[in-house]
């Protein structure tokens, strides 16, 4: 995809994301500020959290975090859209109905008066200025680098949904921020729940111990049906339309290979001990021919090559009426593995504790809170940045039709999908990638 954007005369409320990226080098000189104090080690004081991004994953992350520790309390929340804040507030105070009803939040874990409900492009700043200790970031992925920077500058611990960027410029900033968080002893945990799931952990431990020998190949899949679309009411500006339907716009989501399939690619990187060296792939639009679907592809097929020469086939697809497959498979010289709990070959084994497993969406927050209280905050930032760039690598190869190296993308790519301003009105031009035509930037 070209990063040519629409001309816009709108003025952003305070800044553009590019301002944050340019300021990255200066950020490393900032002094340590606050964070959760050692008093929390006693386990009696409140850990106050704020939510940025009030959609389904954001409200889900709040419930996961509150389930992790009874002393956690939600005290502020914000979203670019006021109606999303209102919907979340209603869910938290009245509970949800439908196929899987959820109760209202417990009174001692919910303290969000109207004056701590914020909307607009600067809502994240207001949430972070509300006396919180930990911020949950669950907006469309494009905004993650700027929100991470603001959080660490404020001295906050972070839970950030995956992925953490949509372009190499954002990934480079997040890698720097991960190092800064480590220096400041701030937690940086991400929504890669497989890394906190006991079936994956036990299987991967066996793989690392040589249960399938040297890994020589693999496959990973996120293939499913279609997803939601919010429509396009005439009163919405183009910017509002794109943000409300963010899945279908590469500058906001990174496309579904980045936004969704990064889970499976993270498992591959986990198994190989790091990201691939290069990728060659293809993709396109067979079901998403309507312009309402922006410029997102509906399918990708990528071959990733890792440092030992092993090749992994990556498949992801979103198409109405299509069947589902969400899984990973690793092939070794002495066997094969499903990383979610099964090994075949010389050292055959199967995980037997599925029924007793705790919800890994909760466990990742348990691990986060425990690490904060222990004074040894978890930092998954560089790992998720590498996985995010792995997914971007596949997208860039498919969009351009070129074989692309990971190191080139990390060190030399100029691709930056930042719009000229964050304001209601004009939005980035929708350009659908054409392999062999779309330039490698």
| Per-residue confidence (pLDDT) for residue 21, from 0 to 100 | 40
Stretch 306-329: mean pLDDT, rounded? Answer: 97
Q: What is the pLDDT of residues 187-197, one digit of tens each?
A: 999 999 999 99
CA angle (120, 126, 127) in 5-degree steps = 105
First to last CA, the chain: 9
Reduced to 3 states, what is the DSSP secondary structure of residue 68? helix
- Residue-range domains of the chain with CATH: 17-194+361-379 (3.40.50.720), 197-353+388-411 (3.30.360.10)
Q: What is the pLDDT of residues 64-89, one digit of tens each?
A: 999 999 999 999 999 999 999 999 99
Q: Which helix (H) or strand (E) element contains residue 29?
A: none
Q: Are 5 and 428 in contact (CB under 8 A)?
A: yes
Task: Evaluate if residue 152 carries a pLDDT over 70.
Answer: yes
| Per-residue confidence (pLDDT) for residue 45, from 0 to 100 | 85
Angstrom distance (rounded) from CA 61 to CA 85: 15
Phi, then psi, of 157 in degrees rounded to 5: -75, 155
Q: Which helix (H) or strand (E) element contains residue 366?
A: helix 360-374
| Per-residue confidence (pLDDT) for residue 97, from 0 to 100 | 86
Q: What pTM value is reported for the model?
A: 0.91
Angstrom distance (rounded) from CA 91 to CA 254: 29
pLDDT band at 296 (very low <50, low <70, confident <90, very high): very high
Q: Is the peptide bond before 163 cis (omega within 30 degrees of 0)?
A: yes
| Per-residue confidence (pLDDT) for residue 6, from 0 to 100 | 28
Q: What is the pLDDT of residues 20-56, one digit of tens each?
A: 344 443 333 333 333 344 344 334 589 999 999 999 9
Sorted by sequence, the CB contacts under 8 Å of residue 301 that are 6+ apart come out as 281, 282, 283, 313, 314, 315, 398
Stretch 327-355: mean pLDDT, rounded? Answer: 97
| Per-residue confidence (pLDDT) for residue 29, from 0 to 100 | 34
Q: What is the pLDDT of residues 94-121, one digit of tens each?
A: 999 888 899 999 999 999 999 999 999 9
């Amino acid at each position: 995809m070209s990063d040519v954007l629409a001309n816009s005369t709108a003025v952003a409320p305070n800044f553009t994301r590019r301002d944050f990226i340019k300021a990255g080098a200066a950020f490393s000189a900032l002094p340590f500020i606050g964070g959760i104090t050692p008093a929390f080690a006693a386990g009696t004081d409140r850990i106050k959290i704020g939510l940025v991004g009030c959609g389904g994953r954001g409200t889900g992350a709040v419930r996961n975090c509150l389930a992790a520790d009874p002393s956690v309390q939600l005290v502020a929340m914000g979203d670019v859209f006021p109606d999303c804040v209102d919907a979340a507030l209603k869910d938290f105070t009245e509970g949800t109905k439908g196929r899987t009803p959820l109760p209202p939040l417990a009174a001692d874990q919910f303290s969000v008066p109207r004056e701590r409900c914020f909307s607009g492009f600067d809502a994240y700043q207001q949430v972070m200025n509300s006396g919180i200790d930990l911020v949950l970031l669950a907006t469309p992925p494009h905004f993650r680098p700027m929100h991470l920077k603001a959080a660490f500058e404020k001295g906050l611990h972070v839970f950030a949904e995956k992925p953490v960027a949509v372009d190499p410029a954002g990934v480079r900033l997040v890698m720097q921020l991960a190092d800064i968080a480590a220096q400041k002893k701030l937690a940086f945990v991400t929504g890669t729940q497989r890394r906190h799931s006991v079936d994956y952990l036990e299987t991967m431990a066996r793989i690392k111990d040589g249960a399938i020998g040297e890994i020589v190949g693999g496959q990973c899949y996120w293939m499913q049906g279609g997803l939601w679309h919010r429509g396009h009411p005439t009163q919405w500006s183009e910017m509002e339309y794109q943000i409300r339907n963010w899945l279908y716009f590469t500058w906001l989501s990174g496309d579904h290979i980045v936004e969704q399939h990064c889970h499976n690619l993270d498992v591959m990187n986990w198994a190989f001990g790091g990201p691939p060296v290069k990728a060659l792939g293809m993709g396109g639009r067979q079901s998403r021919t309507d312009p309402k679907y922006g410029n997102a592809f509906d399918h990708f097929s990528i071959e990733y090559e890792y440092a030992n020469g092993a090749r992994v086939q990556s498949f992801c697809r979103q198409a109405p009426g299509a069947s589902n497959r969400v899984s990973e498979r690793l092939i070794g010289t002495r066997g094969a593995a499903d990383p979610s709990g099964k090994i075949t070959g010389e050292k055959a084994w199967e995980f037997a504790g599925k029924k007793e497993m705790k919800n890994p969406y909760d466990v990742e927050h348990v691990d986060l809170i425990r690490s904060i209280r222990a004074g040894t905050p978890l930092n998954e930032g560089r790992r998720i940045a590498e996985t995010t760039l792995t997914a971007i690598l596949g997208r860039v190869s498919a969009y351009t039709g070129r074989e692309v190296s990971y190191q080139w993308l990390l060190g030399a790519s100029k691709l930056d999908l930042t719009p000229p301003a964050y304001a209601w009105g004009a939005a980035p031009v929708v350009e659908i990638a054409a392999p062999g035509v779309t330039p490698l930037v």
